[in-house]
Amino acid sequence: MSDDEKRKKYDKYGHVGSEEVFRGSESNFDEIFKDIGFGGIRDIFEQFFGGGFSARNRSDPFGFGFNFGRTNKGEDTVVDLSLSLEEVISGKNETIEVPSLEKCSVCNGSGCSPGTKTKKCTSCNGLGQTKRVVNENRFSTFVTVETCRMCRGVGEIVERPCRNCKASGKVPARKKIQIEIPPGIEDGMTLQLTGRGISYENEYPGDLFIRIHIKPHQIFQRLENGNILYSLKLKFTELALGTEVVIPTLYGSEKFKIPAGTQIDSIFKLRGKGIPMHNQRSKGDQIVRIKLDIPTKLTERQRWLIKELDDRKNM
Which one of 49, 66, 83 terminates a domain?
Answer: 66
Q: Same domain for 227 and 274?
A: yes
135 belongs to a structural domain: no
82 belongs to a structural domain: yes
Contacts of 264 (CB under 8 A, 6+ apart): 239, 290, 291, 292
Of the candidates 213, 210, 171, the residue with the CA atom closest to the CA atom of residue 194? 210
The pLDDT profile of the chain, 315 residues, written as one tens digit per residue, is 456 655 554 454 444 443 343 333 444 444 444 444 444 444 444 444 444 333 333 334 343 444 444 557 878 999 999 999 999 998 889 999 998 888 899 999 888 999 888 899 988 998 888 888 776 666 777 788 888 888 888 888 888 999 998 888 889 999 999 999 999 999 999 999 998 888 776 678 889 999 999 999 999 999 999 999 999 999 988 999 999 999 999 999 999 999 999 999 999 999 999 999 988 889 999 999 999 998 888 898 888 888 887 776 654
Rounded CA separation 308/81 (Å): 57
238 belongs to a structural domain: yes
Q: Same domain for 248 and 308?
A: yes
DSSP state of 175: E
Q: Same domain for 210 and 293?
A: no
Give me the CATH number covering residue 304: 2.60.260.20
Residue-range definition of the domain harbouring residue 276: 220-314
Tally of CB atoms within 10 A around 138 = 6
Q: Same domain for 81 and 181?
A: yes
Q: Same domain for 172 and 271?
A: no
pLDDT for residue 169: 87
pLDDT for residue 14: 45
Into how many domains does the chain fold?
A: 3
Query: Are the C-beta atoms of residues 235 and 227 closer than 8 Å to each other?
Result: no
Cα 174 to Cα 98, 99, 171, distances in angstroms = 6, 5, 10
294 belongs to a structural domain: yes
Q: Same domain for 240 and 310?
A: yes
Rounded CA separation 92/70 (Å): 35
Q: Same domain for 21 and 97?
A: no
Q: Same domain for 243 and 199?
A: no
Q: Same domain for 231 and 296?
A: yes
Contacts of 44 (CB under 8 A, 6+ apart): 33, 38, 134, 142
pLDDT for residue 201: 63
What stretches of 205-285 adopt beta strand conformation (E)? Answer: 208-214, 220-222, 228-234, 243-249, 252-258, 267-270
What phi and psi, each to the nearest 5 degrees, are found at residue 172? Answer: -60, 145
Of the candidates 198, 12, 221, the residue with the CA atom closest to the CA atom of residue 100? 198
Rounded CA separation 169/108 (Å): 7
149 belongs to a structural domain: no
19 belongs to a structural domain: yes
Q: Same domain for 211 and 285?
A: no
Whole-prediction pTM value? 0.61
174 belongs to a structural domain: yes
pLDDT for residue 152: 80
Q: Same domain for 29 and 79?
A: no
